A = this chain, B = another copy of it.
Amino acid sequence: MHRGRSNGTRDYNPKQMAIREKVFNTIISCFKRHGAETIDTPVFELKETLTGKYGEDSKLIYDLKDQGGELLSLRYDLTVPFARYLAMNKITNIKRYHIAKVYRRDNPAMTRGRYREFYQCDFDIAGQYDAMIPDAECLKIVHEILSELQLGEFCIKVNDRRILDGMFAVCGVPDEKFRTICSTVDKLDKMSWEDVKKEMVNEKGLSEEAADQIGEYVSMRGGMDLAERLLQDQKMCQNKQACAGLSDIKLLFSYLQLFQVTDKVVFDLSLARGLDYYTGVIYEAVLTQAGLPPLANDSQNGASSEESAGVGSVAGGGRYDGLVGMFDPKGRKVPCVGVSIGIERIFSIMEQKASAEKVRTTEVQVMVASAQKNLLEERLRLVTELWSAGIKAEVMYKKNPKLLSQLQHCEEGGVPLVAILGEQELKDGVVKLRVVSTREEVDISRADLIAEIKRRTSEA
């Protein structure tokens, strides 16, 4: 009998779960602070719901076996189910987060943190609103989350699909080559400009002149000033699309100033996230500090493995105003903007950080122990009292456990206190409370015990 686990999947052990819970709490608190609701959708969708949404990556979709009935596939991301949900329920306004696992039949590279089952953590704002206000809030949220998680220095790159398209147009890229040239530009975070240019010219048949013009633009980065400069740019200003994008970038930066996050945001013309469904602003957050763990969980921060993601990419997203309409019988559009937090990447970083540390996997405040034999009943009585008072407490499931093994259990599990019962203590109506870290012991009357435990573990 095979006793293993499926390739490219993993179990989370209690330590990993404790880290995962901490990360979730930070992120969910942020989403809630911004007034988000949450929804959940099934792990499988009708196959046709996913068809035609992921381009070449569709081959990575897990299908269920046809056992009679509908053809089903495991969800590939959370964005398509979200769009299906909005259309199906005719919802035109929602600010929601969704944290759940998605599935890709990718080549697992588990040492690099790439799995076939992994979490996505999405925040999206759907609704017809005034330009760039929800977009700015998405960036604000990324800024808050990355700051609070203390992952080190980061930078949020911003661009706009319309600026990219406009740029390609004014540089003389033929319309039908926009997508393919865009995906080459997307490699600029991993390849030198020379190599990117070679690919454009040699593989994709772009003229050298056009490539050079693109090269000039994609080297540009800045802030609102760059948007203003490009609005004056002789070529760019002739392209309507580009102008609309540049004006929005300007407006976006004005809101980002009010949100006090411009320190980390860069308008970067080389940012070209691969997803077809983006229609406006796009962004990506990158950790910039040296000494990052050697992960390349590239495909798992957004909705597509085609999607670019820098070495240190930990969040990405953008505006997608057309997707919901694809699910509506009348094609009614619901404008959306959202961000996907690269939570698997973040787990890995936090796990590496914690690898040397002891991480508590329970929250037990006190173990009820005894030094002598035949005190099981007394232990069970006391632990019942503590549970009633809301105290997290444990007792060993042995009639006569050794005191040493009870203390060891506390040391291993990080349990801070031990309430020790003995014949003498029972006679005196007290409990010996032992502080595991200092080995200090103090007799506490039964009447004061609960308050004393709460006091001593209140920071936990």
Contact between B42 and A260, CB atoms less than 8 A apart: no
Whether B144 contacts A43 by the Cβ 8 Å rule is no
Residue among B67, B260, B381 making CB contact with A105, cutoff 8 Å: B67
> Which residues from B are CB-within-8-Å of A395?
133
Q: B40 contacts A12, CB within 8 Å?
A: yes
Say whether A255 faces chain B, with CB atoms less than 8 Å apart.
yes
Number of interface residues of A (CB under 8 A): 91
Stretch of A81-89, A228-236, A449-457 at the chain-chain interface: A81-89
Chain B residues with CB under 8 Å of A391's CB are 33
Q: Which residues does chain B contribute within 8 Å of A46, judged by CB atoms?
A: 2, 4-6
Contact B39 A397 (CB under 8 A): no
CB–CB A384/B11 < 8 A: no
Closest residue of chain B to A363 (Cβ to Cβ) is B32
What is the chain B residue whose CB lies nearest that of A88?
B3
Question: Is A1 positioned at the interface, with any CB of B under 8 Å from its CB?
Answer: yes
**A48 contacts B by Cβ under 8 Å:** yes
Partner of A12, one of B17, B39, B390: B39
In the assembled complex, the Cα of A117 lies from the Cα of B117 at a distance in Å of 17
Interface presence of A41 (CB below 8 A): yes
Which of A122-130, A164-172, A304-312, A432-440 is found at the contact surface with chain B? A122-130
Number of this chain's copies in the assembly equals 2
A326: nearest residue on chain B (CB-CB)? B1
Stretch with Cβ within 8 A of B (4 or more), from A58-66, A173-181, A195-203, A219-227: A58-66
The answer to whether the Cβ of A134 comes within 8 Å of any Cβ in the partner chain is yes
Is B2 in contact with A42, judged by CB distance below 8 angstroms?
A: no
A380 on the B face (CB < 8 A): yes
Q: Does A291 contact B (CB under 8 A)?
A: no
Cβ contact of A63, chosen from B17, B44, B64, B326, cutoff 8 A: B64
A335: min CB distance to chain B, Å:
11
Is the CB–CB distance between A14 and B39 below 8 Å?
yes
CB distance from A78 to the nearest CB of B (A): 12
Q: State how many angstroms separate the Cβ of A41 from the closest Cβ of chain B.
A: 5
Asked if A392 is at the interface (CB within 8 A of a chain B CB), the reply is yes
Shortest Cβ distance from A142 into chain B, in angstroms? 13
Q: Which residues of B contact A381 (CB under 8 A)?
A: 258
**Min CB distance, A50 to chain B, in Å?**
11
Question: Beyond A5-B41, A63-B64: 18 further Cβ-contacts under 8 Å?
Answer: A1-B326, A4-B46, A6-B42, A9-B44, A11-B40, A12-B41, A14-B39, A14-B96, A17-B40, A32-B363, A34-B394, A35-B394, A43-B101, A62-B67, A63-B67, A133-B376, A144-B387, A260-B384
Could you show 15 A-B contacts with beta carbons less than 8 Å apart? A2-B46, A2-B48, A3-B87, A10-B42, A11-B42, A11-B88, A12-B40, A13-B39, A33-B390, A35-B393, A35-B394, A43-B103, A133-B376, A133-B380, A133-B397
